[in-house]
Amino acid sequence: MALDETLNVARSNEARPLVEVRGLRRSFDLSKPWLNRLIERSGRVSLTAVDGVDFSIREGETYALVGESGSGKSTIARMVVGLLPPSAGSVEIDGTDVWGKKSPDQERRMRRKIQMIFQDPFASLNPRWRVGAIIAEPIKAFGLIADASDRAERVGELLSLVGLDPRDGQKFPHEFSGGQRQRIAIARALASDPKFIVCDEPTSALDVSVQAQVLNLLRDLQQRLGLTYLFISHNLAVVRHVATRVGVLYLGRLVEEAPAAELFAAPQHPYTKMLLEAVPDIDMEGKERLAIAGEIPNPVTPPPGCHFHPRCPARLSGCDRDIPMPQHVGNATVRCHLFDPR
């Protein structure tokens, strides 16, 4: 009986996603001070950056969140890693609630599993610290290696792992190119032996040729170390090469989610189709493209109903009134009235 229970627990853990995000919401109070509102007779102003987002990531997957600037991608990333508290909803990583009550020991174990790679590799590295000290800091913070010489050896291994020389640990960040600095940021992220890494636009500040090198490095590290990624990007051409599953965000709402291959082969939501039309493609030369109409609305005063309806070429009569519910279309989940059986 004990063996059966052990097998059931193992199967349950295998079936459970590594990362589960449920009903995630984040609002920001943009109101003026109380006295100003009293004098001007104005009310409170609130901005909803993320509005009820659900998704899950299985171990070893790369889940990409895409959308225009202002859609809420980076806000979600910061809530997932524990940098920004949500207004509602939950984030569970390996069965632990990121924002739930935990003992200091549980908090420490959870934090060690999570790391983040930021967009600007120069701003995310301390310019006053040598590279070796930057990479060694997570090792010291989590008490992984006590001996200084062993710690230095581990830093050298991490630099070699990301394609740099172990002697580079004696240099400062300003002595490296943008691509090399991002490799240093990746080495720092790997220093705590994490299971889950959030990549927030990790290549958007780099040249195109360097982008490919960094993306290949991330993919190789994932295969070698069994890492799980949440990949934030507005560039669908990049996402096509790295993602296992893709979630498309529009004004804080997830409008489509599907396996990457299916989403690029047969997008369902009108917004996803418009984004894909904007991706440069040599095969589309001479063919007419569908231009992206308008701009993303002000999130302080979002459109009622479906947020995308003012720009949608397939708008229906109820789109400006009712919020679309998620509908299953093959392996995709789409929030669009076009697929509502009613």
pLDDT band, residue 98 (cuts 50/70/90): very high
Largest CA distance in the chain: 72
Q: Does residue 9 surpass a pLDDT of 70?
A: no
pLDDT of residue 279: 74
Q: Is the pLDDT of residue 195 over 50?
A: yes
For 4, 61, 158, 186, the CA distances from 222, given in Å and listed in that order, are 32, 9, 14, 12
Question: Which letter, b or e, does each residue of 272-294 get, where b requires 16 or more Cβ atoms within 10 Å of its Cβ?
Answer: bebbbeeeeeeeeeeeeeeeeee
Q: Is residue 319 part of a domain?
A: no
Q: Does residue 6 fall inside a structural domain?
A: no
Q: Classify residue 182: in a domain, yes or no.
A: yes
Decide if 330 is inside a domain.
no
The span from the CA of 246 to the CA of 230, in Å, is 10
Of these ranges, 33-37, 89-93, 237-241, 297-301, the one predicted with the greatest mean pLDDT is: 89-93
Nearest to 270, CA basis, from 286, 284, 250, 297: 250
Q: Is residue 119 part of a domain?
A: yes
SS3 content of the chain, % helix, strand, coil (to 5): 40, 20, 40
Token pair belonging to 271: 């917004």
What does the pLDDT look like over 153-166, one tens digit per residue? 999 999 999 999 99
Residue 318 lies in a domain: no
Range of the domain at 137: 19-270
Mean pLDDT of the chain: 88
Per-residue pLDDT of 134-153, as tens digits, reads 999 999 999 999 999 999 99
Query: Residue 332: how many CA atoms within 13 Å on its side-chain side?
Result: 24
Closest to 186 measured CA to CA, from 227, 130, 146: 227
The mean per-residue pLDDT over the stretch 226-236 comes to 93
Q: Output the pLDDT for position 285.
A: 55
Per-residue DSSP letter, 152: H
Do the domain assignments include residue 306? Answer: no
Q: What percent of the chain has pLDDT over 70?
A: 91
Q: Give me the CATH number covering residue 79.
A: 3.40.50.300
**At which residue do the structure tokens 């991002």 appear?**
182
**Is 80 contained in some domain?**
yes
Which residues have CB under 8 Å from 295's CB, separation 6+? none
* Residue of higher predicted confidence among 285 and 312: 312
**Distance separating alpha carbons of residues 130 and 162, to the nearest angstrom:** 17
Residue-level pLDDT at 229: 97
How many domains in the chain? 1
